[in-house]
Amino acid sequence: MRRRDIILQEAEKWKQEGIISAEQFQQIAGRYPVLAQSSSLPVLGAILLGLGALTFIASNWQEVSPFAKLAIILLSLIVSYAAGEWFR
């Protein structure tokens, strides 16, 4: 859930409980504008960059030591999980 949505849900509860007025709710909502949806261009760029990295690694896979192979696999998993948590 986005930060804006959480704040507006809380402000709605405050309005219903009489803590703030409808005008104050509108002022709070105005401070957190709806962000425009990002285009698909960054997603396409990330996919192409990932495919390029995979192609580079795959072309040299037989020359890579077993330890380096394990490190590449584990690091890619860790980075994927961290990115998922960051953008959640």
Per-residue model confidence (pLDDT) at position 37: 67
Token pair of 46 as six digits: 């990330």
- 26-70 pLDDT, tens per residue? 999 888 887 766 678 888 898 999 899 889 888 988 998 999 999
Rg of the chain over Cα atoms, rounded to whole angstroms, equals 23
Per-residue model confidence (pLDDT) at position 67: 95
Neighbours of 15 (CB within 10 A): 17
Per-residue model confidence (pLDDT) at position 1: 57
Token pair of 48 as six digits: 């192409």
Q: How far apart are CA 84 and CA 23, in angstroms?
A: 37
Q: How far apart are CA 86 and CA 88, in angstroms?
A: 6
pTM of this structure: 0.46
Neighbours of 11 (CB within 10 A): 20
